Structure 1
Amino acid sequence: MDVLPVALVQTAVFRKSPTSNLEVLLEETARAAKNGARVVVLPELWNQAFLTVEREDTEGEERRVLLEFSRLARRHEMAVIAGSVAMRCREGLVNRCYVFGPKGNVILTYDKIHVYSSFFQKDAFKAGTTLGICDLFGWKTGILVCFDIEFPELCRSLAENGVRLLMVVGAWPAEHIRIWKTMIAARSMENQIFTVGVNRCDRGPLVQFGGRSLAVDPYGETILELDDRPATEIVRLRKELVEKARKCNAVWFSRRAEVYRKWR
Structure 2
Amino acid sequence: MKLALAQLEVRAADRDGNLERALTAVDDAADRGADLVALPELWNVGYFAFESYERGAEPLSGPTLTRLAEAARDRDIAVLAGSVVEDLAESAADGEDVPDDDGLANTAVLFDSDGRSRAVYRKHHLFGYESAETRLLTPGESLPVVDLLGFRVAVTTCYDLRFPEQFRALDAKGADLVLVPSAWPYPRVEHWRTLSRARAIENLAYVATVNGSGSFEDADLLGRSTVYDPWGTTLASAGDEPTLVTAEVEPDRVERVREEFPALRDRRDY
Give the shorter-chain TM-score range.
Answer: over 0.9
Counterpart for residue 171 of structure 1: 183
Other structure's SS at 1:206 match: coil
Q: 1:109 to 1:60 in 2, by over 3 A?
A: closer
Is the CA contact 1:194–1:242 (under 8 Å) kept in the aligned structure 2? yes
Counterpart for residue 114 of structure 2: 103
Counterpart for residue 247 of structure 1: 259
TM-score (normalizing by structure 1): 0.92
Is the CA contact 2:150–2:251 (under 8 Å) kept in the aligned structure 1? no
Q: 1:112 to 1:54 in 2, by over 3 A?
A: closer
The yes-or-no answer on 1:184 pairing with 2:183 is no
Counterpart for residue 230 of structure 1: 242
Deviation at 1:196, TM superposition (A): 0.2
Deviation at 1:200, TM superposition (A): 0.9
The yes-or-no answer on 1:18 pairing with 2:54 is no
The yes-or-no answer on 1:46 pairing with 2:43 is yes
Q: Pairwise mapping of residues 125-164 of structure 1 onto structure 2 (< 5 A)?
A: 125-164=137-176
Q: 1:149 to 1:63 in 2, by over 3 A?
A: same
Q: Alignment partner for residue 116 of structure 1, among 103, 127, 140? A: 127
Amino acid at match of 1:5: K
> After superposition, what is the alpha-carbon deviation per residue over 1:169-223, rounded to whole angstroms, capped at 9, x for unaligned?
0000120121111111001110100000000111122001100000111011111
Other structure's SS at 1:240 match: helix
Deviation at 1:256, TM superposition (A): 2.2
Distance 1:145 1:54 in 2: 17
- Note the aligned Cα RMSD (angstroms): 1.5
Structure 1 gap segments, 5+ residues each? none
TM-score (normalizing by structure 2): 0.90
Distance 1:55 1:219 in 2: 41
Distance 2:224 2:147 in 1: 26
Other structure's SS at 1:55 match: helix
Distance 1:62 1:200 in 2: 24
> After superposition, what is the alpha-carbon deviation per residue over 1:74-103, rounded to whole angstroms, capped at 9, x for unaligned?
122221001001121123110000111111
Is the CA contact 1:62–1:87 (under 8 Å) kept in the aligned structure 2? no
Aligned residues: 255
Amino acid at match of 1:128: G
Distance 2:59 2:182 in 1: 24
Distance 1:7 1:213 in 2: 10
Amino acid at match of 1:97: A
Runs of 4+ in 1 over 2 A off after TM superposition: 51-62
Distance 2:3 2:231 in 1: 18
> After superposition, what is the alpha-carbon deviation per residue over 1:227-261, rounded to whole angstroms, capped at 9, x for unaligned?
1100012110022221221122221111123xx2x
Q: 239-248 vs 101-110, which deviates more?
A: 239-248
Counterpart for residue 92 of structure 2: none
Distance 2:188 2:36 in 1: 27
Counterpart for residue 34 of structure 1: 31
> After superposition, what is the alpha-carbon deviation per residue over 1:97-156, rounded to whole angstroms, capped at 9, x for unaligned?
011111111111111011011311110100011103222212101100111111110000
Q: 45-54 vs 72-81, which deviates more?
A: 45-54
